[in-house]
Each structure stands twice: as C-alpha cells, then as structure tokens.
C-alpha cells in the first residue's frame, strides 16, 4: 500500500486526492483539528461530554477495523478482518496513511494487539502470534504462532482480548465454542481439546467453556485463570493489577442470561456459564458471583480498556471503557470498591447513530483515547463493513495534539523508573513491562526505590519488580524479601495490601514465610486482602501444612456473605480440604457451615479440572460439522482431530461412569442428604448440583425441593392483575351446575366460532377491578360464563393463580384442569390459591364461573417469579392464519412489488403499533420464537429493544428476506429420521441422546439421536419468507418493533 503523509495544512489537497481514489467518503482525514466539527460527521456519532472532542483519523470502505492499540511512541496499530495496519505519527500532529503490515487468511479477525519491547503480539480468533521487532519493522513481516489449538467454531466465539499483567504474563479472553450444546432445562456443557503453546508447542489439555487464560510471553506455561464466561471480549487491568472483563449475554435464552455482565476477574473464579449467570437474578443460588453492574440490559460488548490518566477531565480517571456494539455506544464505568470486589455504574461517552457502532478502544498519545467504529446495520457472521478510526481528546486540545513520545526499548533505566513513578497508569505500566522484559540487573533498584515511594500505585508496581528480582535470589534472599513484604498487607491502602499478598502468591507461594503470610491474611479485616490470601492458598503446592488453611477458610471466607469470598473459599475447600473435611462441614450444626460444605461437595463433584486430560472412558460428542476441526492459520491448515481428543459433553453424560468412583458416590450421598436440610439455601444449592447429574436416584427429590421453593417464593412474588379477557356465555347449567359440560371446555378455543345455537360469541371485556359477567351478559342466574386469556412464560415454571369468584369456579391451563371449587359464595380478590405449571411460550388459560343467583363476578390476579410471566389476549384474524401462511411460504419467495416501492424509514410512522403487536403475537406467530420487551420466549434471535438495536432497513430485510443474512448461530438444521420424517428448524438444545428442534411452525420437537438418518446444517433461516403479505401488515409490524426501545 503506498504511503501518503499529510498534515492539517494539506487537508484540502487530501480531499482532492480522495476524489481521485473514487471513494464515497474520505479515506483519510488529517488529525489536528481542535474541534470535532471540522473532522467528523455529526449525523454519525456524538459525544455526551462537552469537554471532549472527536477527531477522525481514517476511514475504510472494506477493511472492517476492529482492534486498536497505541504504543508509547505514538504509533497506532489497527486490526481488521484479515489485515494488520500501522499509523505512524507525524511531527505536526497528524498521522501518515495507514500501512498494511500483514494480511492473515480470510476471516481470521484480529481481535486484539499488544507489545513487549519491539515485539508485536497479534491475537486472531484462532491463535496468538508474535511478530519479532514488529513494532518497528516494516518489511518481510512473518508471524510466529505461539498459542493455538482451539476449534474454529464461529468467529464470534473465539480468542478475543489481550492484556499484560503486572506479573509479566500475557492474559487472554476466550469465548465458549459450544453454546448450542446441552439440555437447557438443566444448562450445562463443556468442551475438551488441547492447546499448544511456546517454542516447543507444549501440550495443555483444556476442559471448559469461555474463560480467561494466561501464558508466558513466549506462549508457554498456559494456565486457566478463571472460567465460566460465555463470550468475554475485552480485558483490562487497573492500576493495581485488578483484572476486568465483559461478557456477552445469550440471545436465545433472554430470561436466563440477560442482562450482560461486567466482571471482576480473580484467579480460580467461576462465572457459571451456562449453569447460571449472576447472583442478582438467582436468589436461590449461593455459588454465583455478583456482577459489577446489575442492569446493563442487552449487552454486546467488544473492546475494553482502563483509563487512569491525567489528560482527560478527572471524572474519567479510574474508569473502564467498553465499546458496546449493540447499543452503539462507547461507555465508561467509574470503578468503586464493594467488599472483596468492585461495583460500577454506566455513563455514555460516545453515541453512534444509525449504523455506527464502536468496537475497539485504547489509551495512547499522552492520555487520549482511540476508538474504532464499525458501520453495521445488524449482526453478521464475518462481515465486510465500512469502518473508521477516531481519537477522543479534550475540546481545548492544541492542533498538534502534543505528547511526549517514548522509545521504551532505547530508554535508560533511570528514565524507565521515572516513568514507573508517573502518575499516569498507562505509561507507568508500559515502563514496568519493559523493566520486566529486561530483567536481571534492571530490577535490582526496584526495592531501593520502594523505600521512598509514598504513592500506593507506584509502590505496588515496585513491589512486583522487586519480587521478580528477589525470586531469583537464594533462600536467604527470598526470606529477607518476604520479611520486608509482610508488613505491607496492613497498608492503609487495601489495594496495596491485597497486591502485596498477590505478589507473594505469584513468586513465593511455597516459601514457609508466604504460607504464614497467607494464613494471617485470610483473617485480615480487609475483604480484598482476604480474597488475595485465598489466591495464595491456591497457588501453594498441596502439602501436609494445609489443615490450618482449611480451618481458617472454612470458618472465614467460606461463610462470608460476599459472593467472591464465599465462592473462592468453597472452591479451595473443594480442591484441597478433602472429602472428610467437606463431610464435617455438611453435617455441621450451623446452616452457614452446611452451606459451605454443600458448595464444596458440589464443586468437587461437578467442576472438572480445567487443565487435566480426560479419562479415556469418558465419551465426547462431536461438533455439529467437521468445519471446527480444520483451522486455517497464517502458516497452514491443521486438523485438530489428528492432535488429540476433542469434543463436547455434559456432566450428566459422564456421571454414569464417574458415579462408579467411591469418592464421587460419597459426595453424591452428602448432597442427597442435604436435600432434606432445614435451611432452604442448603436445599436449593444441593438441588442445583444434583440436577446437573440427572441421577434417577435423586431426580424426584430434586424436583420436589425446587417445586416447594418455587411455591414459597411465589407467595412473595410480584402481583399482576389481568386487565382483559375474552368472555363467552351465559350457558344454561340446567340445574346441574358443573355436571353440565359445555362446548368451550371440550375443544381448543376458537375466537371466530359461534357456540350453542349460534348466539354465543366471544367478546372482549376489560376489568374494572373485577370482571362483571352479569353486567356484560345480562341475566346469568343458574348459568355459567367462560373467561379466556393467555400467559406468556419464558421457561417452564410454576405460576400462582389467585382468582376470586361469585360463585363456583373451574380453571384449566393448557387444557388440564388445575382447580375446581363448587360452592355459593361472595367473590373476593385473591380468594383461591391455585398453583399451575406453565410451558415455555404461550399458555392457554380458561376459567368457568358458575352463578347460583345474584352477582356473577370474577377477580383475576397471579404471581410469577421476578414478574417473568405476562398476560395477553389473542386477537381473531379473518385473513389467512399462520398455518396457511406457513403452507404457502417459500424460502425463495419473491417480494411483492408494492412492498419494494415503499420508503419504510419514513413510512413506519404511519403504522399502528397496536395492530403490529397483534400481528407479532397472533397473526404471524413471531412471538413463539422471538423475545420482545413484553414477551421473553426462548429460541430465535431476540427482538427486545429492537427500536434501539436495529435500523428500519435491517428489520425490513429480516422480515421479507429472512435467509438473506443469517447469523450462523441461528442457521436452520434439517433432520431426517429413519422412519422418513423430516424436521426443519433451529437446534435449541442437544445432548448425547436427544436433539431439541424449534420448527418453522414454532413447535418444539425432541428427536432421539438414534432415530436420525441424516442431519444437515443449511445457510437458511428457520423463518420462512413470505409471511408478511401487505404494505399495511409490514407498516404495523415495524411500528410495533420500532416502539420497543430502551428507555
């Protein structure tokens, strides 16, 4: 690619050049303009802070910018779909034109970039590479593959983020590569493969889902830091070395795995995906971790960085910055301490309009921010999209954007230590990393500097450097350093105290003085210090000296209400305390200890060791096709099946074999006993772990425990009044009361049908505190009236119906009678207590109220857990019903000309949102597969907040041509059974025995695998084309979806 240097003074000449290139917009815009209005399009994005400004650096129509990193010299490195670029800073404040450094194979996606010395690290979706001297080298670039081995299942679920820790290790985020697998009535699955790392391709077995990994700078010594994430993308360390990441919610199960998560990551933590999501949404679970922000809503986070610089206004210091693709925003999160962990709130910094979506963010150039913006109408598999690189600076920035460039590799040690002392976190951490890279004598002065440091952040960095030097000393030298380190845990700064313990854990875990320090720290008054002590206890080699740890952890962190202390404490007990100690806790007189024992037993029984090889007797299932096994790297293609065991499984699939081990059987019996515990927390936690096993010996008791708990919780759940019902009648009971059976209770409800002699038709009635049948229907003495409505449930669950009636009442749910009371009485609100089982999706509710004489009334309320069940009344449609539409739909259906001639962006305002709602829920049956704000069904892509998340043109295309752009996660599968039956739809669950398919007609089918003859994955949507037939229908549907937006 030719180089075109430019500066602000030649911006007009550049505009002329851009026309010569015949691009639809500027390829390059000179930075240096003091005001954003000179460089950016206000119709594409805006800043929410008037003290900030945006400067556009570059735009590309097809390189699909994603990741961005700036180095201390001022260079900007950008990664896209395949290509890696560099932007060299110019003296006048501008940047030279982008220069391509290397182009990876198609669809490699450069998710993140890092530096160490002059070596350039690049993380693609399937491998970590290093370009030796790549920071400064510009020709003959050759990547070395230093970490690889994961299957290439999907570009969205892969390697994602990179960050250097204060320990000098490289940390990586990994997405879950098997989100489809498992029985989601008991969510659980694991993948198993082998990672290869370092110059000798060291083998590390991996069993897990998404998580955070770390390795040495050469890719060796791979470790799992934390697990249980679904799709963490960006990761970032704060000034004290605390690690943070984000996690994408799960589109297909909105009530279980939404909102998204901003997470504080600590070693050995488990974030529970897919077994759970967040403590805030599951009060009956004691194994889940509290998230930093509980109300993020739909969350599609991508790049992330940490800002603690002095350049931008002070309110930006101590903030995480996250690019939110779904909401089209760059948001910041001021971090504050909360117990052993952290909390935050969300503040929007930059907001994109229409198709402009932030995807990458990085700190650089003296404390400014750089961001990459993608122009995308919707989610795609591996898209080519226009993109832009921008810089966020102060609104009063000088035209040259001055900063002090640094060549850290060439800098003297004096200069590096001065930078380590810098109040700005970013440059200090870069200097810190350079000193670690040099090692040896470069670290020797760190402890001397430490003696004069008064800043906790500076002291923390020096502690790491001094420890790295002392770790190579003899026993006496190590002991002396630990003697000097120990008082630091009582620092006035809890962060510095916790950091001191982590330093001991990373470099000196097995030293006797470190063990004594951990034991003291686990009883420390500061929660952050106690959490770090558990990390130290984990890193110490198991020995006969562990019993004091076990006692201290069992009587302290394992009993704590803080979710981090409780989980890490009980996970340590699970791995290190032994089954006898766990049994004693399970049988303890106090409920807190029994809960700790239950957690420890459950973790030990159901959490596989992440880096141990699986026993050959444990079966693995294949991925859905052969494609994930064949991975194309920069230097060739590898079939991972040739290199070791690889596949997927659930805990229940392995349990019949693992149950044969005496220790596992003993742990199983401990948990079964706890199902009868007097404390509900203990019962529910035991039920959770046992439910994962699917053991016939415990299944019925587990179900009974959960049912009992649900009923107790329903008594306190939110109360909802049903506002409208359809009513029918009055039917003459012929003096026989309920013994007289009428037509509505004998067949499915048909709102278009006339009953009796043709004079009875369904009519809609609104509640005025109650439903008054006498007022609506006339004389009803000795007669019965029917009421009909629907309950929409996101999952199988119980609901508490609370009707009141004058007089007798019968209730059916989905055609099954759940309540009957035949007596003369006056009606009262909340009169009857009726528990009913709901299925996922739509549930039909029919009530019959019998009248003796006089008043004839119905009160109608219900309770559901977390208010997750909503009521609705269907609408009769005279035009073609859903089944007729489905029969006539064609995947190659031609869009009618009248639908193509409409400007839908402007025409949507003419639609009727209420009619659109009825179409969505009834006429077209969209709500059977797609969640909205008022319907949280599980299955296809969610349309909740559609008005905020999607453009009108995208919605139009998705409705009229659903197979034109299909997210690979929602591709259609065709299954043919040995009996010749053909099923087509979306796979929403899979185990070793069964495939669960959501079919085109929204019916769910459970197909036994042994009956399957063929199974094919198609590049088609399960949704048929041609369902919407008229301009009016589409206009109303769009009006409804556009109104569903984030408030």
Provide mean pLDDT across the span 693-710. 96
Same domain, 857 and 743: yes
Provide mean pLDDT across the span 311-323. 98
Residue 34 has pLDDT above 80, yes or no: no
Same domain, 895 and 810: no
Same domain, 818 and 955: no
Residue 946 has pLDDT above 90, yes or no: no
CB 198 within 8 A of CB 658: no
Assigned token pair, 723: 């506002």
Same domain, 839 and 903: no
| Residue where a domain stops, chosen among 340, 370, 400 | 370
Residue 623 has pLDDT above 50, yes or no: yes
pLDDT digit string, tens, across residues 511-566: 999 999 999 999 999 999 999 999 999 999 988 667 889 999 999 999 999 999 99
Residue 574 has pLDDT above 90, yes or no: yes
The residue among 781 and 22 whose pLDDT is bigger is 781
pLDDT at position 259 is 87
Question: Which of 149-158, 346-355, 385-394, 752-761 shows the lowest mean pLDDT across its residues?
Answer: 752-761
Burial of 689 (C-beta count, 10 Å sphere; 0-12/13-18/19+): buried
Same domain, 803 and 923: no
CATH, residue 839: 2.60.120.260
Residue 962 has pLDDT above 50, yes or no: yes
The residue among 469 and 877 whose pLDDT is bigger is 469
Give Cα separations from 75 to 34, 97, 123, 311, 392 (angstroms). 20, 12, 18, 18, 15
CB 921 within 8 A of CB 1040: no
The range of the structural domain enclosing residue 794 comes to: 719-863
**What is the distance between the alpha carbons of residues 551 and 313, in angstroms, rounded to a whole number?**
48
Residue 703 within a domain: no
Assigned token pair, 758: 């043709």
Assigned token pair, 544: 């006969």
In three-state secondary structure terms, 902 is coil
Assigned token pair, 945: 């907040």
| Residue where a domain stops, chosen among 863, 896, 911 | 863
- Contact partners, residue 506, CB within 8 Å, separation at least 6: 167, 467, 539
pLDDT at position 678 is 97
pLDDT digit string, tens, across residues 1009-1034: 888 888 887 777 777 777 787 888 88
Nearest to 847, CA basis, from 799, 807, 877: 807
pLDDT digit string, tens, across residues 787-822: 999 998 877 889 999 999 999 999 999 889 999 999
| Residue where a domain stops, chosen among 316, 338, 370 | 370
pLDDT at position 396 is 97
The residue among 918 and 96 whose pLDDT is bigger is 96
CB 992 within 8 A of CB 656: no
The residue among 1041 and 1022 whose pLDDT is bigger is 1041
Residue 9 has pLDDT above 80, yes or no: no
Question: Which of 202-206, 295-299, 514-518 shows the lowest mean pLDDT across its residues?
Answer: 295-299
Torsion over CA: 76, 106, 120, 459 (sign): positive
Q: pLDDT grade, residue 951 (50/70/90)?
A: low
Question: Which of 15-24, 443-452, 704-713, 756-765 shows the lowest mean pLDDT across its residues?
Answer: 15-24
Residue 701 has pLDDT above 60, yes or no: yes
pLDDT at position 954 is 65
pLDDT digit string, tens, across residues 336-374: 999 999 999 999 999 999 899 999 999 999 999 999 999
Residue 101 within a domain: yes
Question: Which of 88-92, 126-130, 251-255, 1039-1043 shows the lowest mean pLDDT across its residues?
Answer: 251-255
Residue 826 has pLDDT above 90, yes or no: yes
Residue 891 has pLDDT above 70, yes or no: no
Residue 995 has pLDDT above 90, yes or no: no
pLDDT digit string, tens, across residues 100-111: 999 999 999 999
Same domain, 802 and 915: no
> For 336-349, what is the HEC assignment?
EEECCEEEECCEEE
Mean pLDDT score of the chain, rounded to an integer?
89
Provide mean pLDDT across the span 626-644. 97
Residue 275 within a domain: yes
Same domain, 120 and 226: yes
Residue 837 has pLDDT above 70, yes or no: yes
Residue 11 within a domain: no
Question: Which of 166-180, 935-949, 1010-1024, 1026-1040 shows the lowest mean pLDDT across its residues?
Answer: 935-949
CB 704 within 8 A of CB 689: no
Residue 175 within a domain: yes
Q: pLDDT grade, residue 10 (50/70/90)?
A: very low
pLDDT at position 969 is 58
**Phi (first) and psi of residue 623, to 5 degrees:** -70, 170
Residue 89 within a domain: yes
pLDDT at position 250 is 81
Residue 36 has pLDDT above 70, yes or no: no
Question: Which of 151-165, 248-262, 950-964 shows the lowest mean pLDDT across its residues?
Answer: 950-964
Percent of the chain with pLDDT over 90: 69
Same domain, 927 and 840: no
Provide mean pLDDT across the span 115-139. 98
The residue among 278 and 899 whose pLDDT is bigger is 278
Residue 790 within a domain: yes
Neighbouring-strand partners of residue 512: none
pLDDT at position 1039 is 86
Same domain, 831 and 921: no
Residue 723 has pLDDT above 80, yes or no: yes
DSSP-assigned letter for residue 169: P
CATH, residue 339: 2.120.10.30
Provide mean pLDDT across the span 767-777. 96
Q: pLDDT grade, residue 112 (50/70/90)?
A: very high
Same domain, 925 and 858: no
Residue 362 within a domain: yes
The residue among 1003 and 160 whose pLDDT is bigger is 160
CATH, residue 932: 2.30.30.100
- Contact partners, residue 810, CB within 8 Å, separation at least 6: 738, 745, 817, 819, 820, 821, 847, 848, 850
Same domain, 281 and 165: yes
Query: What's the structural domain count of the chain?
Result: 3
Percent of the chain with pLDDT over 70: 90
pLDDT at position 585 is 98
pLDDT at position 1025 is 73
Provide mean pLDDT across the span 840-854. 91
Nearest to 943, CA basis, from 965, 960, 928, 963: 928
The residue among 248 and 1016 whose pLDDT is bigger is 248
Q: pLDDT grade, residue 117 (50/70/90)?
A: very high
Provide mean pLDDT across the span 165-191. 93
Which residue matches tokens 């992440």? Answer: 610
Provide mean pLDDT across the span 983-997. 80
Residue 878 has pLDDT above 60, yes or no: no
Same domain, 905 and 828: no
């Amino acid at each position: 690619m030719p180089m075109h240097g430019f500066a602000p003074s030649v911006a007009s000449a550049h505009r002329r050049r851009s026309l010569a290139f015949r691009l639809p917009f500027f390829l390059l815009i000179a930075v240096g303009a003091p005001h954003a209005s000179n460089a950016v399009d206000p119709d594409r994005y805006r800043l929410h802070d008037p003290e900030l400004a945006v400067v556009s650096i570059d735009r590309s129509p097809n390189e699909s910018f994603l990741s961005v990193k700036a180095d201390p010299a001022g260079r900007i490195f950008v990664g896209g779909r395949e290509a890696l670029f560099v932007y060299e800073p110019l003296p006048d404040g501008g940047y030279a034109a982008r220069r391509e450094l290397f182009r990876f194979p198609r669809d490699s996606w450069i998710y993140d970039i890092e530096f160490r010395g002059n070596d350039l690290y690049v993380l693609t979706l399937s491998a970590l590479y290093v370009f030796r001297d790549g920071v400064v080298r510009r020709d003959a670039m050759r990547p070395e593959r230093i970490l690889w081995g994961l299957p290439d299942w999907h570009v969205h679920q892969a390697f994602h983020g990179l960050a250097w820790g204060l320990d000098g290790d490289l940390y990586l985020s990994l997405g879950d590569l098997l989100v489809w697998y498992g029985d989601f009535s008991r969510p659980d699955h694991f993948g198993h493969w082998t990672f290869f790392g370092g110059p000798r391709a060291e083998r590390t077995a991996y069993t897990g889902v998404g998580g955070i990994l770390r390795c040495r700078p050469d890719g060796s010594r791979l470790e799992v830091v934390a697990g249980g994430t679904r799709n963490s993308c960006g990761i970032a360390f704060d000034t004290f070395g605390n690690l943070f990441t984000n996690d994408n919610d799960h589109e297909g199960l909105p009530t279980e795995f939404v909102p998204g998560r901003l997470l504080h990551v600590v070693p050995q933590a488990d974030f529970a995906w897919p077994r759970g999501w967040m403590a805030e949404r599951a009060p009956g679970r004691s194994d889940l971790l509290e998230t930093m922000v509980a109300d993020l809503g739909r969350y599609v986070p991508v790049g992330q960085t940490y800002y603690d610089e002095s350049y931008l206004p002070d309110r930006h210091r101590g903030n995480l910055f996250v690019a939110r693709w779904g909401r089209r925003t760059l948001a910041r999160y001021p971090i504050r301490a909360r117990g052993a962990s952290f909390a935050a709130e969300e503040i929007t910094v930059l907001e994109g309009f229409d198709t402009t979506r932030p995807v990458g963010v990085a700190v650089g150039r003296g404390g400014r921010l750089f961001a990459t913006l993608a122009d995308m109408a919707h989610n795609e598999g591996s898209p080519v999209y226009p993109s832009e690189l921008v810089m966020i600076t102060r609104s009063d920035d000088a035209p040259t954007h001055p900063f002090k460039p640094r060549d850290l590799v060439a800098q003297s040690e004096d200069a590096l230590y001065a930078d380590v002392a810098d109040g700005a976190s970013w440059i200090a951490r870069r200097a810190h990393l350079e000193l670690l890279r040099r090692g040896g004598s470069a670290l020797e002065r760190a402890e001397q500097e430490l003696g004069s440091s008064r800043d906790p952040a500076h002291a923390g960095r020096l502690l790491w450097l001094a420890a790295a030097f002392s770790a190579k000393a003899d026993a006496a030298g190590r002991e002396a350093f630990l003697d000097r380190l120990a008082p630091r845990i009582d620092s006035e700064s809890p962060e510095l105290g916790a950091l001191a313990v982590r330093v001991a854990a990373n470099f000196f875990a097995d030293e006797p003085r470190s063990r004594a320090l951990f034991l003291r720290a686990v009883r420390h008054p500061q929660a952050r210090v106690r959490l770090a002590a558990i990390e130290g206890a984990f890193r110490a080699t198991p020995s006969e000296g562990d019993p004091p740890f076990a006692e201290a952890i069992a009587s302290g962190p394992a009993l704590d209400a803080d979710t981090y202390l409780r989980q890490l404490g009980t996970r340590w007990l699970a791995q290190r305390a032994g089954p006898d100690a766990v049994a004693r806790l399970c049988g303890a007189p106090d409920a807190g200890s029994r809960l700790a024992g239950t957690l420890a037993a459950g973790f030990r029984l159901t959490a596989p060791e992440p880096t141990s090889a699986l026993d050959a007797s444990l079966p693995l299932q294949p991925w859905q096709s052969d494609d994930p096994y064949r991975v194309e790297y920069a230097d060739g293609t590898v079939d991972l099946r040739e290199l070791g065991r690889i596949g997927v499984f659930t805990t229940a699939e392995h349990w019949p074999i693992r149950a044969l081990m005496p220790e596992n059987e003993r742990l199983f019996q401990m948990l079964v006993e706890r199902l009868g515990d007097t404390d509900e927390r203990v019962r529910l936690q035991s039920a959770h772990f046992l439910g994962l096993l699917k053991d016939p010996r415990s299944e019925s008791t587990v179900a009974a425990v959960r049912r009992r708990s649900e009923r107790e919780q329903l008594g306190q759940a939110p109360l909802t009044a049903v506002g409208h019902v359809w009513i029918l009648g009055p039917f003459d009971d012929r003096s026989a009361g309920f013994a007289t059976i009428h037509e509505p209770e004998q067949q499915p409800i048909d709102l278009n049908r006339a009953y009796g002699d043709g004079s009875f038709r369904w009519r809609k009635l609104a509640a005025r505190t109650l439903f008054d049948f006498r007022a609506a229907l006339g004389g009803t003495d000795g007669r019965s009236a029917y009421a009909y409505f629907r309950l929409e449930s996101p999952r199988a669950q119980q609901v508490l119906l609370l009707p009141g009636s004058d007089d007798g009442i019968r209730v059916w749910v989905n055609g099954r009678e759940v309540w009957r009371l035949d007596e003369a009485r006056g009606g009262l609100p909340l009169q009857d207590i009726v528990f009913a089982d709901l299925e996922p999706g739509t549930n039909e509710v029919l009530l019959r109220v019998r009248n003796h004489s006089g008043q004839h009334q119905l009160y109608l309320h219900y309770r559901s857990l977390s208010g997750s069940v909503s009521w609705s009344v269907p609408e009769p449609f005279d035009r073609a019903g859903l089944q007729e539409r489905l029969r006539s739909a064609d995947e190659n259906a031609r869009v009618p000309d009248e639908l193509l001639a409409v400007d839908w962006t402007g025409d949507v305002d003419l639609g009727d949102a209420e009619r659109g709602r009825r179409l969505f829920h009834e006429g077209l049956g969209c709500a059977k597969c797609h969640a909205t704000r008022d319907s949280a069904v599980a299955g296809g892509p969610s349309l909740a907040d559609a008005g905020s998340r999607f453009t009108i043109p995208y919605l139009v295309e998705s409705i009229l041509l659903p197979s034109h752009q299909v997210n690979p996660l929602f591709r259609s599968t065709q299954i043919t059974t040995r009996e010749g039956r053909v099923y087509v739809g979306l796979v929403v669950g899979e185990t070793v025995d069964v495939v669960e398919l959501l079919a085109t007609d929204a019916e769910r089918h459970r197909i036994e695998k042994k009956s399957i003859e063929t199974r094919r994955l198609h590049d088609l949507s399960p949704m048929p084309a041609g369902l919407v037939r008229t301009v009016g229908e589409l206009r109303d549907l769009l009006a409804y979806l556009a109104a569903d937006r984030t408030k």
